[in-house]
Structure 1
């Protein structure tokens, strides 16, 4: 290594490549703690390929890592200092996004909702202008749409985008709000189900990206949805902004295991069943002080979940309800939505329930309702308080219920299955109640599992969790794994404790989000959610990429509850959640618009149906409705439009993987060599382990200690680690990335290292592999300059251009010079060269710069032509819509003229003629409108094209980095 190598490597490691160059992803892939899959690299490149595109839709099937694909894109933009980044997703996925961005890509993020917004404002911060990726729910994004609109976002990621497929309709308020707020920003849409039941869904998704992809909805309908629609033409247009990878295309890269379901029935005692019936009767009352008027259905839903969970869960909730009524005893009865919010947060239930409560706007004034009197009837209120006290005491007296005793048997069965497949003796138990969680931990520890049980919740604020967290902090104080966020770090600590020490993890719904537990292959649904998306999310914590064993899923069934039995049948048969290689298909899950709405439908059955016959009839009706939405009538169309039938798809993915690995190998090697050179007096290096000990820190804030280079090719210890970052931590104390402050120091100082003109001798004989291009130069010498070129057009592109000649005046090409700098070399003193050589190299450099600029211009012209073609088609669509309206009017006139000829009396004839006159007037107006539409569309199209042309204009800057006299020995 020489200072010239250091400067060249420093610029090369951070330069901005052209949009469609695999090298553009080098920095993001190198810094990311994720396994490398070729379809994900290809998808990320597709998302970045056009600098003037307004966005793309990534539609890989479930389980192929769309979040990873989006993460690669976000990571790359972050590394390019484009940091106004926004993620909009369902409420239940917000925390998962934040954690995955942190753990897998080392990217900071902030989840914003009504509370965190208020907290930020109180601290004097601008909530949307933080040095982090902003994560929002759909509802909250719509609520703050004016604030979102005011920011020029570099990228907006919309996850589960199929939920907004009707955003073009005015009735879809949330979709309309998000579409308006982000219309000027580049977007990345993610969905496994871009097409469910209607081609118009594809139109709706396209309008989220860019309103100029297709014309209006009428034009789209007339071209593609009617009989004889041009599906091949639609496929071609989708190809410009939509990419879909199927599981069967990547099976050689990703291995999936099976799911095996076991149902454990239990039969409650008469006392338990009577309590259930008594609480049910209380919940079915039309009028009650105990349940607030607002969010009544949501409150009933929560209480139903807790009633099915455990006697301890419902006992504590009934006590809370009683205390609330006691505080209202002498006050005017108020709508009390905070009570429902309290129930959700106390029991650590799913975020989308809380989100639904928080996103309800407060009423302007209290109003009377027929279900609740406006003033307190003290007698009725006291009766309810007494009744709640009685029910709560009854629930507490149950003690250990039948379902809990059945859990021990379920664990025995599950662990037998684990032993048969050589899987680890680990069990993940899900409950919907924090009270049930605590109760189960105490029960299990008293029945053979003492010291083997750990709890995981949304707050993780128990004394035991805090102790585990403190131990983890102590063990990792020098590893670089501590993020500084208690929420993220304590989750990592608890999962690691479960992996290394505990046998059972009892989790509330918080663990269904953002936690990867592939080392466990036994999932027990102690409480079974009614929401199929939530069930799939739970199982997906263990049954996912990286799972080595078949996953056993155990569900409990109350034999004395017909509704519970039908819910289990529905989830099993209609959604196929528990069996098969992939679990629920994306098509089936995508048919559920809203998990909470679906749960409310089932709640209605529980609330209204009493007899087995009523329950059966209601569930059959719901099942018939699901059959309608799940049926496969769109299957053939979906395949035609969205599936890739290229025979060379596997070969292309192999090439993509090979190219990316080659780039990363070169990237990692150069970063390592640069670090060795820049820190040679401050650190001790181990080339075999890719470890170095920093003895003397170059800057305040950079800790001394052991650093380990992230390497995708180096072997990693197999500890079933939660992430590559955890595996790498076993090698050394600090993960060493390009984005680490030490990495940034090395690169920044490498760029400004002193490089006066000198003689450099390259030693090809010491190179480990054959370099034929360089070997041909052995014994020769010559002169070389390196020029940095930056081009500003649709985006910034940076090039490092070599210009070199040999002693016989023959030129050296770019590839030869690059390979020359992969060889070891030594400086042989400061030198100078004749003016003629300087003049020749200057001329060569200018020609190289001009050629590169022309090449860039040609590539940008291609992007420009694609965009112009899109606008031409949009213009044609808009005119077609006007012409279609005129054609429809003509057809109506013809029909009426036939009817007029067949009219039997003058009155009928007169009525028809009046209709014809009205339509003929409309026809004349439509003919005039066609010309007007054509004129307006052409003006709009030309304005858009002119804007693109202005952006195409290039600005360039060049800078000589160094000049050397070279020789090869």
Structure 2
């Protein structure tokens, strides 16, 4: 006679259930039952149940199913699900990033590895893993235009993830073809260039209504598209130089639009607290109410960083090759007399007009930018400066000026190549006088071109000839700041018999891809501008020639970073071309001397250590332009930047300490997972359907989001001590007789706080710690021959002994889990309490009493809530249950 509380077998579902209620009406008996594996309560007729578990329940497929399901649950709880060895074998520092990111349910981090360490790969690993766990589906990657190709290719080639690239020019076409206004909502995985979606502040000829409509369509359509994870590359750009710039607005909107957020930047902190505060507030606004919160203990949970000197390969060896920097100093001689005169005339034109323009800098920003561009060009190539001055004369003669304003923030971000057209159309301070000056200069430039090759050309030919004589298969990269110089060099090198490819900022993504393929497979030399070279991975080359040297040394570092990357097999050789007889070289020499002294005083022996920290914030341009204006007082002109450099270096050392992460990367060697999660899911379902006797053929691409998988992973399997055990024999496996068990330890209901451990206890009730793991591995090995049959029930005394020994063995695991849970709870409590106390301190300074009281009352309520959550987090309800008990024959 069945009783309430009895366990019976549901013949309709082939699962064990517990009777909750028995009812009899008009001779029909029915049972309300509770299914322990699904947590569901439902009714069964008397014909649908039986008191004994059928023999077919005791089979090999059931054993393997429970063993594999338990393994998968363990992986979900704490392991890496994505099969890392499939498309890429992560380096130790990349595995460290993945483990750090997955150590917390709240995946919002700044990935701050130094240049060349593979932050794209790290983000891809996190994306792949979160997808495998079923935590994300809709993913948006925002990056500078020059990096779109890199992201698209690496996601495809290394992670087999297809992303849709949506460019500004694609927007209307997608909407028209699909007939759907929600452009971004139609794709689950999107890459979008940063500047194509940032809010417009203004545009010539556009009304406020038109700008608002544009922003609504472009910005809010992407913001409101329901993303699960957003990754922003070169994220320091969205920190902005002020809280009002368009990129910062974009970053703030994106950060709030997704639960998971990855900000990628090699330079998260440029020495100024405010931009870093804006950046890290995107990750967690509550934790950073003001600048006082920017301290190491508060920042550490959000920033993951490895420096190049820490990075090691899979064998523990230093990851990066050596750099060899060669300075090529050139002097004008009699053959270059007209070039010298051209330089002097251009410098005079720039100096005189610069003085005038700076008297009313606010109105003349574009003209100031034009003068800077002309001074840079005259040391680049005669051809470049002549062409630009000829175009400027045409604008002056036709008075085809463009009336446009520029803020100080915009001026600081201006790039020579990208804004040349606007600069050439700048308003003149005196049209007739400027035309006369320029025509005189153009005449000399033409004479210089006829007189002899530019002074830098012969050294360039010598270096290239020597390099190719040494190795004809090598690839050489030449960097210049100007497209006109690029064209000049292409013709010269072609006449000398070398094949060239060119890259510049005007090229589309498709054109860039084609050029990169051409350079890698066909041509000898790539001639690139800075904008063209952005985001390139060119480690198949190890030679860089800096034909033009930017005033900002950080740009040189970025160029070298194109080849000084993971995968570089040779030492990197860099040639820096310098015109010795110029004011610029004198400024550079003095600056380097000052920097060397500063670095020696602080104990830094490499420029790259400081240059990697974004010296772009220093005003090198002003130092150079003041020296062009007054070349006899260079020491005075650079005094301000010298002081700024001292502050920058000091800040850099403090920042390095602020974001430095103590870790042992050697512990990550060989730690990559070989667990094929998708295969395991398919195999688990196969075992289950075989156990049930269903003719089921698993589909090829199960994911964790499939309803079938979801149902399995939410099953709560528990061994019933009162039922007969499985009796198991593994062929050619040297086990003792005894009891193999899988026990689940749980602290709270969260699956992350659960763990399944294998235990083997022999017939004499002696624990064999290693045997449990080995038996579990054998059961998981599908090639092992295993026999399973119905065994005997165990008596109460045996049950109690097994429980006691197992609990004692599991105690250390429980303590480890408990300590990890308490640590996370403590860290969360500490960081939010620290931030709240800063807010309370600020609120106490509010002058109006009733506002102060109301603010403090609100904050105290928040404090009470934080305290309550902390206390609740300290309470645990540990559980220790057997999932499987089998007798090993």
For the criterion TM > 0.5, the same-fold answer is: yes
Please tell me whether the aligned partners of residues 289 and 838 of structure 2 are also in contact (alpha carbons under 8 angstroms): yes
Q: What is the correspondence of 1:347-746 to structure 2 with a 5 Å cutoff?
A: 371=429, 397=450, 400-412=453-465, 425-447=474-496, 449-450=497-498, 453-457=500-504, 486=510, 490=514, 493-497=517-521, 502-509=523-530, 512-567=533-588, 570=591, 574=595, 584-594=607-617, 598=619, 600-601=621-622, 604-605=625-626, 609-610=628-629, 612-613=631-632, 616=634, 619-621=637-639, 623-632=641-650, 635=653, 637=654, 641-643=658-660, 649-650=663-664, 653-658=665-670, 660-661=671-672, 663-664=673-674, 666-667=675-676
Q: State the partner residue of 2:130.
A: 77
Gaps (5+ residues) in structure 1? Answer: 225-233, 339-349, 361-365, 374-378, 462-484, 679-697, 700-740, 765-773, 887-921, 955-959
Between the aligned partners of 1:571 and 1:111, the Cα distance in structure 2 is: 43
- For residue 553 of structure 1, report the CA deviation from its aligned partner: 1.6
Gaps (5+ residues) in structure 2? Answer: 1-59, 201-214, 358-362, 407-412, 688-696, 713-724, 877-881
Between the aligned partners of 2:120 and 2:814, the Cα distance in structure 1 is: 35
- Cα 1:408–1:239 change in 2 (3 A) is closer
Partner-residue secondary structure (3-state), 1:815 = helix
- For residue 937 of structure 1, report the CA deviation from its aligned partner: 0.9
Between the aligned partners of 2:543 and 2:709, the Cα distance in structure 1 is: 52
Please tell me whether the aligned partners of residues 521 and 550 of structure 1 are also in contact (alpha carbons under 8 angstroms): yes
Between the aligned partners of 1:237 and 1:60, the Cα distance in structure 2 is: 19
Between the aligned partners of 2:731 and 2:791, the Cα distance in structure 1 is: 25
Q: State the partner residue of 1:208.
A: 282
- Cα 1:488–1:277 change in 2 (3 A) is closer
558-567 vs 90-99, greater mean Cα deviation: 90-99
Cα-to-partner distance string for 1:256-311 (whole Å, 9 max, x where unaligned):
313332223142712333444555666665899xxx98844444444544443323
Q: TM-score, normalised by structure 1?
A: 0.60
- For residue 776 of structure 1, report the CA deviation from its aligned partner: 0.7
Q: State the partner residue of 2:838.
A: 877
1:254 aligns with 2:318: yes
Between the aligned partners of 1:634 and 1:336, the Cα distance in structure 2 is: 37
Cα-to-partner distance string for 1:474-515 (whole Å, 9 max, x where unaligned):
xxxxxxxxxxx8457535523432xxx654333333563333
Q: State the partner residue of 1:308.
A: 379
Q: State the partner residue of 2:340.
A: 273
Please tell me whether the aligned partners of residues 263 and 556 of structure 1 are also in contact (alpha carbons under 8 angstroms): yes
Q: State the partner residue of 2:251.
A: 178
Partner-residue secondary structure (3-state), 1:212 = coil
- For residue 407 of structure 1, report the CA deviation from its aligned partner: 1.0
Cα-to-partner distance string for 1:309-365 (whole Å, 9 max, x where unaligned):
323434554565567678x58xx7554899xxxxxxxxxxx99567779999xxxxx
Between the aligned partners of 1:146 and 1:750, the Cα distance in structure 2 is: 36
Between the aligned partners of 1:508 and 1:572, the Cα distance in structure 2 is: 28
40-49 vs 304-313, greater mean Cα deviation: 304-313
- For residue 588 of structure 1, report the CA deviation from its aligned partner: 3.9
Between the aligned partners of 2:814 and 2:435, the Cα distance in structure 1 is: 84
Between the aligned partners of 1:385 and 1:120, the Cα distance in structure 2 is: 48
Between the aligned partners of 1:807 and 1:624, the Cα distance in structure 2 is: 79
- For residue 540 of structure 1, report the CA deviation from its aligned partner: 1.6
- Cα 1:311–1:878 change in 2 (3 A) is closer
Partner-residue secondary structure (3-state), 2:82 = helix
- For residue 936 of structure 1, report the CA deviation from its aligned partner: 0.8
Q: 2:95 aligns with which of 30, 36, 41?
A: 41
Please tell me whether the aligned partners of residues 728 and 789 of structure 2 are also in contact (alpha carbons under 8 angstroms): no
- Cα 1:49–1:799 change in 2 (3 A) is same
Please tell me whether the aligned partners of residues 16 and 797 of structure 1 are also in contact (alpha carbons under 8 angstroms): no
Between the aligned partners of 1:358 and 1:91, the Cα distance in structure 2 is: 20
Between the aligned partners of 1:796 and 1:125, the Cα distance in structure 2 is: 40
Partner-residue secondary structure (3-state), 1:240 = helix
1:935 aligns with 2:848: no
Partner-residue secondary structure (3-state), 1:411 = helix
- Cα 1:620–1:66 change in 2 (3 A) is same
- For residue 380 of structure 1, report the CA deviation from its aligned partner: 9.6
- Cα 1:942–1:833 change in 2 (3 A) is same
Between the aligned partners of 1:941 and 1:357, the Cα distance in structure 2 is: 54
- For residue 536 of structure 1, report the CA deviation from its aligned partner: 0.7
- For residue 951 of structure 1, report the CA deviation from its aligned partner: 12
Please tell me whether the aligned partners of residues 276 and 307 of structure 1 are also in contact (alpha carbons under 8 angstroms): yes
Between the aligned partners of 1:454 and 1:121, the Cα distance in structure 2 is: 36
Q: 1:819 aligns with which of 767, 771, 777?
A: 777
Q: 1:241 aligns with which of 302, 321, 326?
A: 302
Please tell me whether the aligned partners of residues 85 and 155 of structure 1 are also in contact (alpha carbons under 8 angstroms): yes
What is the RMSD computed on CA atoms of the aligned residues?
Answer: 6.3
Q: What is the correspondence of 1:717-796 to structure 2 with a 5 Å cutoff?
A: 762-764=730-732, 774-776=733-735
Q: State the partner residue of 1:682.
A: none
Please tell me whether the aligned partners of residues 212 and 870 of structure 1 are also in contact (alpha carbons under 8 angstroms): no
Please tell me whether the aligned partners of residues 741 and 772 of structure 2 are also in contact (alpha carbons under 8 angstroms): no
- For residue 533 of structure 1, report the CA deviation from its aligned partner: 2.3
Please tell me whether the aligned partners of residues 192 and 586 of structure 1 are also in contact (alpha carbons under 8 angstroms): no
Between the aligned partners of 1:583 and 1:113, the Cα distance in structure 2 is: 40
Please tell me whether the aligned partners of residues 58 and 190 of structure 1 are also in contact (alpha carbons under 8 angstroms): yes
Cα-to-partner distance string for 1:889-911 (whole Å, 9 max, x where unaligned):
xxxxxxxxxxxxxxxxxxxxxxx
Partner-residue secondary structure (3-state), 2:841 = helix
Partner-residue secondary structure (3-state), 1:259 = strand
Between the aligned partners of 2:247 and 2:520, the Cα distance in structure 1 is: 39
- Cα 1:450–1:156 change in 2 (3 A) is closer
Between the aligned partners of 1:119 and 1:395, the Cα distance in structure 2 is: 50
Please tell me whether the aligned partners of residues 454 and 502 of structure 1 are also in contact (alpha carbons under 8 angstroms): yes
- Cα 1:35–1:510 change in 2 (3 A) is farther
Between the aligned partners of 2:707 and 2:779, the Cα distance in structure 1 is: 19
- Cα 1:573–1:111 change in 2 (3 A) is farther
Cα-to-partner distance string for 1:125-158 (whole Å, 9 max, x where unaligned):
7454443343543795465665565355433445
Q: TM-score, normalised by structure 2?
A: 0.65
Between the aligned partners of 1:127 and 1:274, the Cα distance in structure 2 is: 57
Partner-residue secondary structure (3-state), 1:179 = helix
- Cα 1:492–1:878 change in 2 (3 A) is same
Partner-residue secondary structure (3-state), 1:309 = coil
Between the aligned partners of 1:952 and 1:153, the Cα distance in structure 2 is: 33
Q: State the partner residue of 1:131.
A: 188
Please tell me whether the aligned partners of residues 113 and 119 of structure 2 are also in contact (alpha carbons under 8 angstroms): yes
Between the aligned partners of 1:429 and 1:275, the Cα distance in structure 2 is: 24
Count of matched residue pairs: 749
- Cα 1:282–1:128 change in 2 (3 A) is farther
